[in-house]
Amino acid sequence: MRTRTRDTSENGYHFMSGLLRLESERNLANISRATGVNDQALQHFMSESPWSGEAVIEQVQVEVAARAELASGGMLLLDESGEVKGGTHTVGAARQYLGSVGKVELGQVGVFVALAKGPYWSWVDGELYLPEIWFSAEYAERRTRVGLPTERCFATKAELGLQLIERVRAHQVPFEAIGCDAFYGRDGAFRAELEGRQLEYMADIPANLRVYLTEPVIGLPTNVKGRPAIHERVLSPKAQRVDQLRTDPATRWQSVTVRPTERGCLTADFAARRVWTVWQDASEQFHVRQEWLVIRRDADRTCSYSLSNAPTNRPLASLAARKSQRFFVEAAIRDAKSDLGWDECQTIKFRAWHHQLALTILASWFIAETKLDWSVEYARDPALFDYYQVEVLPALSVANVRSLLRAVLPLPQLSTAQAVDLVIQHLDNRVRSRRSRLKNRSGP
């Protein structure tokens, strides 16, 4: 975290220390108070200082690649996370769909990749999604105000996801497949792009996605009245929704124990069928591919669906294990929000968002590496399996590591005078903020 003139790593240490030790309200003001760092210095470090967040993320990826425990069996999981925002002054804020609230709201969306293997997972990269309106002429002043780099241009979430995957590959982070949710999985062009880059995927899809049970025939319809058709279409066979195939007699279900867990064995019913999918590119050219359709049915009879380009001889148990890995990216995002304060530290500028991302990834990797080191240094006593009569002993959790940190590095307790000064400072900041808003509304 060096700039050309200064070493700012101490501020980074204190910020990450605050993320890991504070229980809630991990904003810059509270982190500065808890760690004894000047508030303005920390604000400058996050929003203005030119240290490279990309370099921090690259270093994390290099360290991940160096861990022998992660050399095989890992899965790279692509997902996004949206946060509601109170105004459009925050970089990337616009009315858009936010999965966290399940509807269109004014908010900000980030695209992330996490590496998962068994009980270990960590964010390894991310990027801010900028809606197309942010590159319009009317947003020119706003782009300048939030410090958006001039070379940044519009990219879809799928395009950002591909960029992240390639950055991770460039630093040789080991993974055997890509996992993603239905937003990315339903995109035939995205799946084809992964295939073209020789990347195996297990992509969730919505229940209403249509597939074909035999190879589709593409062509111009000949039985249309009037002028001859000029646009190709699928002539045969008839497409079927994937949720209709769960009751199809040819869909053969098998109970698969995916993995042992602390709550018992994770077992569900799985079925896999070879299907054909069709998608059109920007020039309306049809593309046909054969893929695996993998269906999971849980005890409550709910089903989820995925498409995969795994080899045709891949066993069902392996497909089932791949499909069940998305739990870990959801856990990574949940941990980043609940335990690492991702949604609590409000940032407005582009640089501040990327700095927060870099330090959150670093904190996430610190947790994962601590769990790995703990498992190596403190091997499981075989007698405990018999004592507890279980197949799996729990690994350290994020909360466990944070508790250990708070014990080793306890947070300071405020004196009465310090508490009074903090309240006065808070009230002063509120008054100044209100005066600034009123001044901005009144205009010149």
The pLDDT assigned to 309 comes to 98
pLDDT digits (tens, 9 = 90+) for 168-186: 999 999 999 999 999 999 9
Place of tokens 């066979």: 237
Whole-angstrom Cα distance, residue 22 to residue 34? 8
Q: Under 8 Å CB-to-CB from 244, ≥6 apart: which residues?
A: none
Q: Under 8 Å CB-to-CB from 276, ≥6 apart: which residues?
A: 211, 212, 213, 214, 215, 216, 288, 289, 290, 291
Whole-angstrom Cα distance, residue 216 to residue 233? 10
Place of tokens 């996050």: 46
39-47 helix and 28-35 helix, angle to the nearest 10 degrees: 130
**Run of H or E residues at 367:** helix 350-377
Helix (H, G, I), strand (E, B) or coil at 127: strand
The pLDDT assigned to 5 comes to 65
- What domains lie within the chain, and their CATH numbers? 53-344 (3.90.350)
Whole-angstrom Cα distance, residue 132 to residue 135? 6
The pLDDT assigned to 376 comes to 87
Q: Where are the beta strands (DSSP E) in 281-430?
A: 286-297, 303-308
Do the Cβ atoms of 135 and 153 come closer than 8 Å? yes
The closest alpha carbon to 213, from 247, 239, 243, belongs to 239
Q: How far is CA 103 from CA 3, 7, 31, 98, 128, in A?
A: 41, 43, 32, 6, 19
Whole-angstrom Cα distance, residue 14 to residue 213? 57
**Residues in the chain with pLDDT values less than 50:** 442-444
The pLDDT assigned to 119 comes to 81
The pLDDT assigned to 328 comes to 64
The pLDDT assigned to 443 comes to 43
Q: Are strands 210-211 and 303-308 parallel, antiparallel or unpaired?
A: unpaired
How deeply is 58 buried, as exposed, middle or buried, from its count of CB atoms within 10 A (0-12, 13-18, 19+)? middle
The pLDDT assigned to 408 comes to 84
- CA-only gyration radius of the chain, Å: 25
The pLDDT assigned to 433 comes to 66
